[in-house]
Amino acid sequence: MSDFVERLSRKPTDSESTEIQKQLNILEELRQKTEDLPADKWQEGLLRLAPFRLKSSGTLKKGDVESWQQANIYVAQKIQTDQLPTWEDITQINALLLGSSHGTLRDKRIFLGPIEACPLEDMERALGCFKEQILHFKQDSNPLIQAALCQYWLVSIHPFIDANGRTSVLLTDWILGAHGYLPMSFATKLDAIVASLTDGRASATPGNAILKLINNVQRSYRLILNEAP
């Protein structure tokens, strides 16, 4: 196993696991509080939520939202038919975001600022592990944890020529929505950054990615409840 794939495969530490369970409990409390909200309050909350869905992407903030809307419609339709995402769905989401006929895997090195994303020599193995071990839903898995790992792996691998971040967010939203959860929302762009890159940042761990997703979903429920700071 390559060093890159090994980093992506790390289990949460004991302290991370404790904090994950604590934040999952808080999320369930918030979720229960929304159950009795009347329809008009839900509508008000969704309007508050919408702008915070766009803060994860500089492209969206610049106004290029038509492709984002088309990809969201695709995901919503799949959720309504109780389908879970496949790799083919992920490439279709990426194609919709880029206004292309199909998702295209990159064949060149890519850098996020000065830091390289998954090296090309590691990408085939990393994608294989993602498809076989991460994307395939296990019945006893917590959907929030699986959604977080899907986002973490996909954006860390950065397999497409563009729109990797938006693709990973919509994949995550699909898994959340299929299991009855609100999508993520972001107070700042930094809230969406979870990738492990070739600099091996200690903070970019699966455990931290899970915690970040839970906090981002908590924010969505707080926006619905009008309790967000």
Q: What is the CATH number of the domain that holds 28?
A: 1.10.3290.10
Q: What is the distance in angstroms between the CA of the first residue and the CA of the last residue of the chain?
A: 43
In the prediction, which pLDDT does 157 show?
95
Task: Note whether residue 229 is domain-resident.
Answer: no
Q: Would you give per-residue pLDDT tens digits along the chain (229 residues)?
A: 578 899 999 999 999 999 999 999 999 999 999 998 999 999 999 999 988 887 767 666 566 788 888 999 999 999 999 889 999 999 999 999 998 877 789 999 998 878 888 999 999 999 999 999 999 877 678 999 999 999 999 999 999 999 999 999 999 999 999 999 999 999 888 888 888 887 767 678 999 999 999 999 999 999 999 998 7
Instruction: Compute, in degrees rounded to 10, the torsion defined by CA atoms 219, 26, 196, 178.
Output: -70
> Is residue 127, in this structure, part of any structural domain at all?
yes
| 3-class SS of residue 95 | helix
111 within domain boundaries? yes
Q: pTM, whole model, 2 decimals? A: 0.92
> What pLDDT shows up at residue 199?
72
Would you call 59 exposed, middle or buried from its count of C-beta atoms within 10 A (0-12, 13-18, 19+)? Answer: middle
Burial (0-12, 13-18, 19+ Cβ within 10 Å), 213: buried
Residue 145 lies in a domain: yes
Residue 24 lies in a domain: yes
Question: Sign of the CA dihedral 162, 7, 184, 76?
Answer: positive
Q: How far apart are CA 183 and CA 56, in angstroms?
A: 13
Q: Which domain holds residue 218?
A: 3-224
